[in-house]
Amino acid sequence: EAQVTQNPRYLITVTGKKLTVTCSQNMNHEYMSWYRQDPGLGLRQIYYSMNVEVTDKGDVPEGYKVSRKEKRNFPLILESPSPNQTSLYFCASSLGRGFGIGNQPQHFGDGTRLSIL
């Protein structure tokens, strides 16, 4: 089954304790992205990756890192989490950005709810 898998689904942690949220897709997609969703602010893009070893900042990259060493994986790293990073996080992937007619549809994971105390 084609899917984007995020882990963990839920995490409560404390300020300053490094954490990684993993994202894996099994569709051989080139484009992957991380979003955060906050009440009243909608979905905002944190980082995206056009392909292996190619990453770029989205709208709200501060406090986050990513890496794309393999096509299927795109982990989100919070080196020193702070309470303002408490949010619902989504990973997404698509065949490519700009391929074909319009953006290729993005497939989203089921989300990771992070609480930073």
Partner 1 sequence: DAKTTQPPSMDCAEGRAANLPCNHSTISGNEYVYWYRQIHSQGPQYIIHGLKNNETNEMASLIITEDRKSSTLILPHATLRDTAVYYCIVLPWGNKLVFGAGTILRVKS
Which residues are near partner 1 by CB under 8 A? Answer: 4, 33, 37, 42-43, 45, 48, 58, 90, 92, 97-98, 101-103, 105-111
Report helix, strand and coil shares of the chain as percent, to nearest 5: 5, 50, 50
- Looking at the Cβ atoms of 33 and 55, the one nearer to partner 1 is 33
- Looking at the Cβ atoms of 14 and 43, the one nearer to partner 1 is 43
Question: Closest distance between partner 1 and the C-beta of residue 45, in Å?
Answer: 5
Nearest one of 80, 92, 81, 65 to 6, comparing CA atoms: 92
Phi, psi of 4 (to 5 degrees): -115, 125
